[in-house]
Structure 1
Amino acid sequence: MTFGNEIRRKALLIRIAQRLSGPAEAIAGFQDIVLEELRKSGPNDALADALKVQVAAHDLLARVEAIKNGDEQPTDKNRLRHDLRTPVNAILGYSELIVEDFGDEIAPSVLADIRTVIGECAILVSQIDRVLDVNPDSSMTGIDSLTAHSLEQTLSIAHRNREEMKGRILVVDDTAQNRDLLKRQLVRQGHEVVAAASGTEALAMIAREDFDLALVDILMPDLNGIELLARLKANEDWRQIPVIMVSGLNEIHAVTRCIEAGAEDYLEKPVDQVLLESRVRACLEKRRWQLREREYIAQIEYERDRADALLHTMLPAPVIQRLRDGEDVIADRFETATVVFADIVDFTPMAASMPPADLVKRLTSVFLAFDDIAHEHGIEKIKTIGDAYMAACGIPEPREDHAHRSLDFARDLIRATSDQTEALSIRVGMHCGPVIAGLVGRVRFVYDIWGETVNLASRLEATGEPGRIHLSAPAFRLLEDAFESAPDARVQTLKGIGEIQTFVVD
C-alpha cells in the first residue's frame, strides 16, 4: 500500500470513529452520572442493571477506539455492525428495564439522564449503517471521503518536502562496473541510488518503489534501453518518471530514437561527472515542477469535488448540471407530479419539554431516516419546515409511476417512525397534479415547488389521521390498483380550497 493510500485509509477510519464517538461518549458520560446519582439517592435495586449499562457503554467506547486505531477494519461490515450493536442493545435493554421497574422511585433529573442515554442509542444506531457503507480501501465519494483525501494530501506533501533536497534515482546497466561508477558519482552528489542489472529487474523495481529519475543503458541483453523506455512511457503510472539514456553509442540515430521515445536527455560513456550532475539536476527540477503541477491540479479537482458534494446535498443532480451549463433562471412546469407532506404529531408540546440539543438530535435522527427512504424510492426531498418534511416525485425528472413511488415512500415513513425506540406518530398528506419547480435565491438558494397541488397536499396532511395517509381524489384514482380493501372515503371542506372528496388509507 502506498504512503498516500495508507494515510487515506487511516484518515477515513478516524472519520468513521469520529461519527460514532460523539453518541458513544455521550452514552458513557451520562451513564456514569446516572450510576453516581443512583448510588447517592437510590433506589439500590436499580444499581445492578445500571452497572450492566455502564459496562456495555465503556465496551462500546473501546470498540469505537479500536476502529480509530485500525484494530477494527470496516471491511467485514456484518461482523463489525454486530459487534457495535451488541453493547448498544444491552444499553437500551437494561436502561428501558430501569425506567420500567423503577421509574416512580428515581429522581426526575436521573430519569432524564437515562432517557438521554436511550436517545443517544437511537442516534448511534442510525449512524452505524451509514458510516459502515464506506470502504476505506475503495474509491471513496461524499463528504467523509473528501475529508480523508484532504488529510492525505496535506501529509503526502509534507512527506515529500522532507526529501526535497535530494532525488531517488534508479541506475539500469548490465555491466557491474558501470553501475557501480554511476552509483558512486550520484551518491557523492547527495542522491539516494538503487541499481538494476537488467531492464526486467528495473521494471520489477519500478512496480514496487517510487523513483524521481532513471538512468538507463541502451545496450542490454534481455530488454534493451529503448524497449524499457517505451514500456515506461506506455504505462500511465510510470510515464512521468524522467529518463536519461546512457550509452557508448556515438551515433545520432540512437540519440534521435531515444528522444523520440520520450527520453529527457542522452549521455555518452564515459560520463563526465560535471555534465552528469547538471543533467540530473535539470531533470529533478523538472520532475519537481511536474509534481507541483499535479498537486495543484489535484487540489483544484478536490475543491471541485467538495463543492459538487455540497451542491448534491442541496440540489437535484439535473439542476446542478443545468447550472454548470450556464442557465441563469431555472424554472419548469410539470403537468403531473406527486407532492407529499409528513408532519410529526404533537411535536410542539414535546419540543417545549426537551433541551435544545436533544430536540435537534431527535429531529436529525428522524429526518436522516426520511432522507434514506426518499433516496431508496427515487423521491426528491424539497425541504423541512419545522417538524414537517416536504418531498415530491416526478420532478425535476418526470416519472410515470410517481404516485406509486410516493405511496410506498409514505408507508415507509410511517413504518420507520413507529419502529423507533421512542416511537413517533406522523400524519401524511398526498396530492397529484401540476406544479411549478425552480431555483430560488442567490445566497442559500433552494430548489422549491409551488402551486395548488402543494397547497392541497399540505391541507391534506393537516386534516389527516396519525399513522395514516390522506389522499386527494386525483391521487387515489392513480393508485386504485394499490389497495386490497376499500379506503375510507370522505367529503371534507378544506381551508382556502373548499369541499372536496378525500380518502384515508394505510
Structure 2
Amino acid sequence: MDDREFRVLVVDDNATTRMKLSMAAKALGHVAETAEDGLVALRKLAAGAFDLILLDIEMPDMDGFGVLTELRKSPGLRDIPVIVISAADDMDNIVRAIELGAQDFLPKSFDQVLFRARVGACLETKRLTDQRADYLSQIEAEKQKVDALLAATLPAAAIDELKRTNRVQPRRFDNVVVLMADVVNFTGFCDVNPPEEAVSRLERLVRGFEDIARSHGLEKIKTIGDAFMATAGLLKPSDAPVPAAARSALDMVAQAPDLGSGWEIRVGVHVGPVVAGVIGKQQHLYDLWGDTVNTTSRLTGLAAPSSVCVSRPIWDGIAGAGRSLGEVTLRGKGALEAFHLEGVTGSGT
C-alpha cells in the first residue's frame, strides 16, 4: 500500500468503542472521524470523502444494516469499503452485513495486529478502486479528445462508419452540390509576406467560411492550401441543396475581404455524382473524386475575382440573378455553359 493518508469514519453508538477504533486508525497514520449513529454517519459521508468505514451493526435510530442499504443506493458511496464491528460469534449478522456489501468484519475485542491486517487489506482495495477510476477517467478524457479530433477531420456520418467498421468505404453519391473557393493571387501574397501573416489570414478566412457553410447546411470537406471545399446533399439531408450552396457561395464572396483583410476570392459551384470516402490507413482524410469535382474546380478557375461561377444545372436549380457567360471551354472538359451568379431570388430545388 502507498503512503497516502486515508480518511476513516468510525460509526458506533458506544463512546468507548469509537475512541478505541479511532485511536487504532490514527496509530496506523490515518485520519479518523466519528459518528454516534447511522444517520450522523450518512450526513458526514454526504459532506466529505472517506476511504473506509468502520461500522457497528447494532445502533439506535439507524443500525449498520440501514447504513449499508443506503450506501448501496448511492453511486458516490457504494465503493467505500466497510468493515463491520460485531461480536465474533454473531455470524448471522456478519453474513447479512457482507451480503449487503461489507468487505470484512472485526470482533469488538480485537488486537492491533488483526486491526492493521484487515484495515490495510480494505484500504488497499480502495486504493486500487480509486486507481482504476482514475485510469477510466483518463481513458474517457482521451476518448473525448479523439472524438473531437475526428469531428474536426471527418463528417459525422463518416465517423459513425469508421467506428463501426474501422474504415469509411468509398461509395457513389448522386446529385451532390460541390462548392470550391480559393483566394485570388494567394501565391503572390505569400511571395512578398511572411508565412505567419499568410497563415494567420487564411485561418480567419477558413473559420469564417466554415461558419457560413454551416449556417446554410453545407458540410466542409477539406482545405488544400488556399482552396476550400464544401458540399450540400452529400452526407446530410437537404431540402434545397442547390440554392443553399449558391447562397453560401455569395456570402463567402461578400465576406471574404473582411475575413481575409482585403483578400478577394473566386468560387465555383456544380452538381452531379461523386465518389466520396476515405482511402489509405493513415492520416484519414474524407475526400471526393469524379467528374463533378473536376468541373467545379474548372469553374472556380473561370470565375472573376470576387465572383461566383456556376454551371447550367446549378443555374437551372435556382431562381437567380446574374448573366450567362455563354459556352466556355474548360481544360479537360470541353464546352460547357457557365453563369456569373449575382444573387438568389427564390428557393429553387
Instruction: Determine the structure 1 residue equivalent to 2:219.
Output: 380
Instruction: Determine the structure 2 residue equivalent to 1:70.
Output: none
Displacement of 1:217 in angstroms is: 1.4
Q: Could you tell me which amino acid in structure 2 is paired with residue 278 of structure 1? A: A
Instruction: Determine the structure 1 residue equivalent to 2:323.
Output: 488
Structure with the larger helix share: 1
Summarize the Cα distance change of 1:378–1:206 in structure 2 as closer, same or farther, 3 Å threshold: farther
Q: In the alignment, is the contact (CA less than 8 A) between 2:204 and 2:260 conserved in 1?
A: no
Q: In the alignment, is the contact (CA less than 8 A) between 2:179 and 2:245 conserved in 1?
A: yes
Displacement of 1:222 in angstroms is: 2.3
Which is bigger in relative contact order (C-alpha 8 A, separation at least 6)?
2
Displacement of 1:240 in angstroms is: 0.9
Alignment of 1:2-401 (within 5 A): 164-248=3-87, 250-328=89-167, 330-401=169-240
Equivalents in 2 of 1:329, 1:418: separation in Å? 37
Instruction: Determine the structure 2 residue equivalent to 1:499.
Output: 335
Offset from partner CA, 1:76-125 (integer Å, 9 cap, x none): xxxxxxxxxxxxxxxxxxxxxxxxxxxxxxxxxxxxxxxxxxxxxxxxxx
Equivalents in 2 of 1:242, 1:375: separation in Å? 51
Displacement of 1:334 in angstroms is: 0.6
| Identical positions, percent | 38
Summarize the Cα distance change of 1:500–1:418 in structure 2 as closer, same or farther, 3 Å threshold: same
Equivalents in 2 of 1:447, 1:476: separation in Å? 28
Matched residue SS, 1:443: coil
Matched residue SS, 1:440: coil
Summarize the Cα distance change of 1:164–1:414 in structure 2 as closer, same or farther, 3 Å threshold: farther
Taking only aligned residues, the RMSD between alpha carbons, in angstroms, comes to 2.2
Counterpart check, 1:479 vs 2:315 = no
Equivalents in 2 of 1:258, 1:251: separation in Å? 11
Q: In the alignment, is the contact (CA less than 8 A) between 1:459 and 1:494 conserved in 2?
A: no
Counterpart check, 1:405 vs 2:241 = no
Displacement of 1:329 in angstroms is: 5.9
Rg larger for: 2
Q: In the alignment, is the contact (CA less than 8 A) between 1:471 and 1:502 conserved in 2?
A: yes
Displacement of 1:328 in angstroms is: 4.6
Displacement of 1:286 in angstroms is: 1.0
Offset from partner CA, 1:353-390 (integer Å, 9 cap, x none): 10122112221221122223333333222222221111
Q: Which range moved further: 413-422 or 224-233? A: 413-422
Q: In the alignment, is the contact (CA less than 8 A) between 1:439 and 1:448 conserved in 2?
A: yes
What is the number of equivalent residue pairs in this alignment? 341
Matched residue SS, 1:389: strand
Instruction: Determine the structure 1 residue equivalent to 2:346.
Output: none
Matched residue SS, 2:326: strand
Q: In the alignment, is the contact (CA less than 8 A) between 2:204 and 2:259 conserved in 1?
A: no
Equivalents in 1 of 2:250, 2:40: separation in Å? 64
Q: Which range moved further: 401-410 or 282-291? A: 401-410
Displacement of 1:285 in angstroms is: 0.8
Q: Which range moved further: 286-295 or 493-502? A: 493-502
Matched residue SS, 1:403: helix
Q: In the alignment, is the contact (CA less than 8 A) between 1:172 and 1:217 conserved in 2?
A: yes
Displacement of 1:249 in angstroms is: 8.1
Summarize the Cα distance change of 1:420–1:329 in structure 2 as closer, same or farther, 3 Å threshold: closer
Displacement of 1:179 in angstroms is: 1.3
Offset from partner CA, 1:396-416 (integer Å, 9 cap, x none): 344343223322322332233
Matched residue SS, 2:318: helix
Runs of 5+ unmatched residues, structure 1: 1-160
Match of 2:280 among 441, 449, 453: 441
Equivalents in 2 of 1:324, 1:348: separation in Å? 39
Runs of 5+ unmatched residues, structure 2: 343-349
Offset from partner CA, 1:327-347 (integer Å, 9 cap, x none): 556111111111001111222
Q: In the alignment, is the contact (CA less than 8 A) between 1:464 and 1:504 conserved in 2?
A: yes
Equivalents in 2 of 1:412, 1:465: separation in Å? 16
